[in-house]
Amino acid sequence: MADERLQQEIDSIRADVAQLGQDITELTRVIRNLGEAKVDDIKGSVNAGIDNASEELLRRVEAAREKGRKVSGDFEETVRKYPLGSLLGAFGVGIIITQLMNIGGRH
């Protein structure tokens, strides 16, 4: 009688240990799946951030290009309107740069 009870207890413990092993296997699978899902979410967020940053960079580059075209066009228009003044201005800037370079060379 005691042997039967002991055997039943041992069988019950074996069943519990087997169930525990299955539970651990299932828990590991669930954790792995959650981890993979989280990694996918993070990848999606990073990719969305990169896409947004790329779009913003392209927008700013295009705005800078447009501003450069406008400034260049305005400069050309000013030179056309005032050719002598533009020539004298460029000559004056050249003299100033030459003087600054000579001052730097004297030290």
Q: What is the pLDDT of residues 41-63, one digit of tens each?
A: 888 889 999 999 999 999 999 99
Q: Tell me which residue has tokens 């002598």.
A: 84
Tokens representing 15 are: 């069943």
Query: Residue 63 in contact with residue 70, Cβ under 8 Å?
Result: no
pTM: 0.49
pLDDT of residue 41: 87
pLDDT in tens, 5-20: 888 888 888 998 899 9
Q: Which helix (H) or strand (E) holds 1?
A: none
**37: confidence class by pLDDT, cuts 50, 70, 90:** confident
The Cα–Cα gap between 13 and 72 comes to 87
